């Protein structure tokens, strides 16, 4: 499965201010307050972490074993503690592309969420070296979800449901802390075993408090919710909500079940696959079912329709996944069906 990465989904951000609900892009006072409380808690953690930052060269403390991952903004290494021999994952971000505040922010978000079983556990050690910033997490050695998704097939049915259950639980936990994850993609889901009995969400550099104002400045991708593609309700941008994560989770679940994206971008005027989906949602008629959706069961249709509702206030929450577990999501007793060359766009 291939496609543009969320790094290309550029955002500008600000902070929502107090005011009437109609002046907050639809946010209620309670929702805004939850996001503000999360932002204040993170600021307190940032201040404390800045005071306890370890000043050292990584090689003095840890022995590099092998790379675990490489991204646009940094890399993750498997290392061992030079004295104790403990295996650890070390995320290293170069100073040339990372500010101290940006590093500490990602570190603190991961630290505050790492107690959930489907979130990578972060250790409270942040290091500043001459050329980089680094922090330590538990090592997850089986790679990420993208390596397990077979093009035009997806994952085995049981593995797809296990992933869905764990990711929905992790996102619900994140949302309960007043945060929106904002970076759902297979590359950010680490797998602890080939059967996906344990998966863990990682990389919190894009996570923001609920109500943070965002404006899309780059081209949309399949995971981009349609409300981010529309003119924002406020001049500074759209106040973000957990509904953004629900949309991205729906796209990811579609990928797990089919092995490709349902569309390239959620713009009816630019993407015929998305336009076909909207027409099917409007009519509800079997004859309007788009080709990429062939092979999914009515239960999967209902689940995905809820997560992929174009209207964020009508969209199902991530917790809706729990009501569909244990029911078949694919035809042929839960096995994938082949799709002809005309179906689907992502992953081809």
Cβ atoms 186, 221 nearer than 8 A: no
Q: Which residues make beta-bridge pairs with 128? A: 55, 133
Structure tokens at 286: 């079997």
Helix orientation angle between 298-307 and 243-258, rounded to the nearest 10 degrees: 150
| Burial status of residue 10 (CB atoms within 10 A of its CB: 0-12, 13-18, 19 or more) | exposed
The candidate with the shortest Cα–Cα distance to 254, out of 227, 195, 205, 294, is: 294
DSSP assigned state of 155: S
Given 44, 59, 183, 203, which residue is catalytic?
183
Between the CA of residue 82 and those of 63, 139, 275, 346, what are the distances in Å?
Answer: 6, 16, 56, 44
Between the CA of residue 80 and those of 68, 112, 141, 159, 188, what are the distances in Å?
Answer: 13, 24, 14, 31, 23
Summarize the chain as % helix, strand, coil (round to 5).
40, 20, 45
195 labelled catalytic:
no
Between the CA of residue 190 and those of 70, 125, 148, 153, 194, what are the distances in Å?
Answer: 13, 21, 11, 20, 11
Cβ atoms 149, 100 nearer than 8 A: no
Q: Distance between CA 348 and CA 259 in Å, rounded?
A: 9
The candidate with the shortest Cα–Cα distance to 195, out of 223, 166, 171, is: 166
Q: Catalytic residue numbers? A: 183
């Amino acid at each position: 499965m291939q496609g543009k990465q969320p790094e290309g989904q550029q955002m500008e951000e600000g902070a929502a201010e107090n005011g009437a609900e109609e002046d907050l892009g639809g946010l209620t006072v309670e929702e805004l307050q939850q996001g503000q409380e999360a932002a204040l808690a993170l600021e307190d953690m940032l201040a404390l972490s800045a005071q306890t930052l370890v000043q050292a060269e990584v090689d003095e403390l840890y022995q590099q074993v092998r790379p675990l991952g490489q991204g646009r903004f940094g890399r993750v290494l498997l290392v061992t503690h030079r004295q104790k021999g403990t295996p650890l994952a070390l995320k290293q971000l170069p100073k040339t592309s990372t500010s101290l505040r940006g590093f500490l922010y990602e570190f603190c978000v991961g630290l505050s969420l790492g107690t959930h079983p489907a979130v990578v556990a972060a250790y409270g050690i942040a290091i500043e070296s001459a050329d980089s910033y680094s922090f330590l997490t538990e090592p997850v050695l089986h790679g990420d979800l993208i390596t397990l998704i077979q093009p035009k097939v997806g994952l085995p049915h049981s593995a797809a449901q296990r992933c869905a259950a764990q990711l929905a639980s992790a996102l619900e936990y994140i949302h309960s802390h007043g945060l929106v994850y904002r970076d759902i993609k297979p590359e950010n889901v680490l797998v602890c075993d080939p059967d996906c009995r344990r998966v863990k969400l990682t990389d919190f550099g894009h996570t923001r408090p609920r109500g943070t104002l965002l404006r899309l400045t780059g081209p949309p991708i399949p995971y981009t919710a349609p409300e981010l593609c529309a003119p924002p309700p406020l001049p500074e941008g759209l106040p973000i909500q957990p509904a953004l994560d629900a949309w991205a989770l729906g796209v990811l679940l579609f990928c797990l079940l089919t092995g490709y994206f349902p569309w390239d971008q959620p713009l009816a005027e630019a993407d015929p696959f998305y336009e076909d989906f909207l027409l099917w949602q409007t009519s509800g008629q079997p004859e309007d079912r788009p080709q990429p959706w062939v092979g999914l069961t009515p239960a999967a249709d209902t689940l995905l329709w809820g997560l992929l509702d174009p209207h964020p206030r009508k969209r199902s929450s991530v917790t809706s996944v729990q009501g569909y577990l244990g029911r078949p999501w694919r035809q042929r007793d839960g096995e994938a069906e082949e799709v002809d060359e005309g179906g689907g766009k992502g992953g081809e």
